[in-house]
Amino acid sequence: MIPKRILGNSGLEVSALGLGCMGLSFGYGPAANKHEAIALIRTAFDAGVTFFDTAECYGPFTNEELLGEALAPFREQVVIATKFGFQDGDSKKGLDSSPSRMRAVAEASMKRLKTDYIDLFYQHRVDPNIPIEEVAGTIQDLIKEGKVKHWGLSEAGVETIRKAHTVQPVAALQSEYSLFFRETEKEIIPTLEELGIGFVPFSPLGKGFLTGAIDETTKFDTTDFRNIVPRFSEENRKANQALVDLLRSIAIDKDATPAQIALAWLLAQKPWIVPIPGTTKLHRLHENIGTATISLSAGDVQQIDTAASKISIQGARYPEALQNRVGK
């Protein structure tokens, strides 16, 4: 079974590895077959995963519906995290964290998720038009009404995190973090530690790159988001293989896989970090969950960090238009 972790000072207890459900409906090519996706989510629960991540905009809407159906038999035993923050729930449109929109999303998400409460409600991106204090105030009302248990931010900057936390304690920040993207270590992680906020790294496998399953010959589906990510250009995939080679060499020593080392490295950073790897494949789900049996010593982490510091990752993690939405 997977050990449990608590997200910062919130008291919210979750399995040390969650399941990122986005890719089952959205982002990385066509949606998975519904019956297979439901089976995968239920297999994760049977194996000890109690933390499931979705968002209004994944689909849009279909990913929440999928989770609602898959998790209904054991709803009370799991923590469901979902997100608001885009106009009409469409991540291609602008941001909208107005109080009326937040309330409408909470109601609609609960319906799709077949539940009368949301365990963790994240603002997907900071909305420059709505003061974060107002967002926190709306969340506070939703908490008082029993519709939301905890709240979080995603890709927010430290000033926003501090302001938000003053109005209504933030349980978790969900932002990108892995050996493929470590900017978060500079200011964000120390701030979370100081404030007692949990951290949920998204894309903990570097959108699949750290697993070794992707190289410069990989062809993505035409609808796959990675086609427009500079870091995933053919040239950059080739240059960035050095990081996969490093993970492979550590994995051989540990009788593990590169994906497991990438996840174990994250778990070794802080006891309040909970990665949410995503997969559409059962064998990979088992592989990722298997990380729970691997532990890296401080010496192992040091060895990885020293070797990784000599590798310079090529290419931006987002195209420019999306980069403008993070770190606010």
Ligand X SMILES: NC(=O)c1ccc[n+]([C@@H]2O[C@H](COP(=O)([O-])OP(=O)(O)OC[C@H]3O[C@@H](n4cnc5c(N)ncnc54)[C@H](OP(=O)(O)O)[C@@H]3O)[C@@H](O)[C@H]2O)c1
Q: Of 35 and 144, which has the nearer Cβ to ligand X?
A: 35
Backbone angles phi, psi at 220, to 5 degrees: -90, 150
* Residue of the chain from 21, 113, 120, 264 that contacts ligand X (CB under 6 A): 21
For residue 60, is the peptide bond before it cis, meaning its omega torsion is within 30 degrees of 0? yes
Nearest to 71 by CA among 32, 102, 40, 29: 40
By C-alpha distance, which of 223, 136, 135, 243 is closest to 182? 243
Best CA proximity match to 209, nearest among 225, 196, 222: 225
Check binding of 236 to ligand X (CB under 6 A).
Answer: no
Q: Work out whether 322 is an interface residue with ligand X (CB under 6 A).
A: no
For residue 132, the minimal CB distance to ligand X (Å) is 16
Stretch that binds ligand X, among 42-50, 159-167, 189-197, 279-287 (CB under 6 A): 279-287
28 near ligand X, rule: CB under 6 A: yes
The tokens for 71 are 């998790």
| Catalytically annotated residue among 58, 122, 177, 318 | 58
Instruction: Decide whether 141 or 157 has the Cβ nearer to ligand X.
Output: 157
The CA-atom distances, in angstroms, between 90 and each of 55, 62, 83, 87, 189 are 10, 12, 12, 6, 29
Q: Of the two residues 8 and 208, which places its CB atom closer to ligand X in the complex? A: 208
Q: How far is the CB of 144 from ligand X (least distance, A)?
A: 26
Using CA atoms, how far apart are residues 192 and 64, in angstroms rounded to an integer? 28
- Piece in contact with ligand X (CB under 6 A), picked from 65-73, 156-164, 205-213, 232-240: 205-213
- Hey, which residues between 89 and 148 contact ligand X (CB under 6 A)? none
DSSP E strands, 155-296: 172-176, 198-202
Least distance (Å) between residue 77 CB and ligand X: 20
Nearer to ligand X, 33 or 302 (CB): 33
- Which of 16, 53, 273, 300 touches ligand X (CB under 6 A)? 53
If binding is defined by CB under 6 A, does position 203 make contact with ligand X? yes
Q: Is 207 in the site for ligand X (CB under 6 A)?
A: yes
Binding region for ligand X (CB under 6 A) out of 1-9, 159-167, 203-211, 295-303: 203-211
Q: Return the amino acid letter for 265.
A: W
Q: In the numeric block, which tokens belong to residue 181?
A: 């993207």
Stretch that binds ligand X, among 18-26, 35-43, 185-193, 237-245 (CB under 6 A): 18-26
Backbone conformation region of residue 203, classed left if phi is above 0, alpha if psi is from -120 to 50, else beta: left
- Dist. CA 287–CA 14, nearest whole Å: 19
Judged by CB under 6 A, which of 23, 68, 89, 152 binds ligand X? 23
Backbone angles phi, psi at 183, to 5 degrees: -55, -35
Does residue number 259 form part of the binding site for ligand X (CB under 6 A)? yes
Burial readout 106-145 (b: 16 or more C-beta within 10 A, e: otherwise): beebbebbebebbbbbbbbbbbeebebeebbebbeebbee
Alpha-carbon distance of 194 to 312, in angstroms, equals 29
Among 82, 184, 240, 279, binds ligand X (CB under 6 A): 279
Q: Is residue 280 at the binding interface for ligand X, with CB under 6 A as the rule?
A: yes
Residue 177 annotated as catalytic: no
Q: Does residue number 154 form part of the binding site for ligand X (CB under 6 A)?
A: yes
Is position 213 an interface residue for ligand X (rule: CB under 6 A)? yes
Distance CA 221, CA 235 (A): 18
Does residue 202 interact with ligand X by CB under 6 A?
yes
Q: For binding to ligand X (CB under 6 A), which residues are involved?
A: 20-23, 28, 53, 154-155, 174, 202-208, 211, 213, 259, 276-281, 284, 287-288
**Which residues are annotated as catalytic?**
58
